Structure 1
Amino acid sequence: MFFWCCVVLFASAGWSVDAAEGMTGEPRAVPVNDTEVLRAAHFAVSEFNAEQRVAYKLVSIKSAKIQVVAGVNYILEVLLGRAKCQSLSAAQTEPCFFRFKHNELRCRFVVTEMPWNGSRALTKKKCRPSN
């Protein structure tokens, strides 16, 4: 049953399941501009900002991988820029200006989704200055 859920998930996301690409459970690269990758990245930044005293916005997605386990892991390498906004909660909804380049962070996020029950969580985060 789990196998068929994965096949349906990949088919609906536009990705092909190919045994030559690697073993089940092994992360594989996906396009950084894929709709689901972008959705996962924006979710990760929103969750990351919820724990910060300042706001960060997504500058770019450097790489993206997916891993099918007991759900789908989106493994993202992103660049964040410190934003100057009216309020921290407005960082995702209003246009904010980026501060100086030395305030950028390079982050590795893992967003885990379980599409069959509609859950999504930022399960790992690790950031460091990008300089």
Structure 2
Amino acid sequence: MHKLDIVDNPGSAKPVSTNDSGVKKAVKTATYEFNNRSNDIFLFKASAIDDAKIQVVKGIKYILEVKITRTVCRKKGHPDLENCNFQPDGKLKQVVQNEDEWSY
């Protein structure tokens, strides 16, 4: 459960811990969507959550700033992303993604 101070500005985005379970779930969902839309043969996974905000509107909206990094796992094998190691430094090592993720 999220404790939000709605007295100041109801409906405005509020900072939330990057360790929050809802944030982690939203990052996982956003990364899954990124991988599904990407035509790269390798999977990406989050390497850092730089910023997270939460906004209560019609449900809960997560506003995220996440760094995702290319892994050594190919999409075709459908590996467990948690067990995929990051690729060594290279041109596609990091991508910054800003993602709005909704949760009801």
Q: Name structure 1 gaps, 5 residues minimum.
A: 1-12, 115-131
- Any idea what SS the aligned residue of 2:78 has? helix
Q: Match for residue 53 of structure 2? A: 65
* 1:3-34 deviation digits (Å, cap 9, x = unpaired): xxxxxxxxxx1414351xx3111001000001
Q: Match for residue 79 of structure 1? A: 67
> Which one has the bigger helix percentage?
1
Q: Name structure 2 gaps, 5 residues minimum.
A: none
Output aligned runs, 1:1-131, within 5 Å.
13-19=1-7, 22-54=8-40, 55-88=43-76, 90-93=78-81, 95-99=83-87, 100-103=89-92, 104-114=94-104
- Any idea what SS the aligned residue of 1:79 has? strand
Cα gap change, 1:92/1:79 in structure 2, threshold over 3 Å: closer, same or farther? farther
Identical aligned pairs, as a percentage?
A: 29
**Is the 2:45–2:81 Cα contact (8 Å) retained in structure 1?**
no
- The two structures, once aligned, show a CA RMSD in angstroms of 1.9
**Is the 1:81–1:101 Cα contact (8 Å) retained in structure 2?**
no
Q: TM-score, normalised by structure 1?
A: 0.68
Report runs of 4+ in structure 1 exceeding 6 Å deviation: none
**Is the 2:11–2:55 Cα contact (8 Å) retained in structure 1?**
yes
Q: TM-score, normalised by structure 2?
A: 0.83
The structure that has the greater radius of gyration is: 1
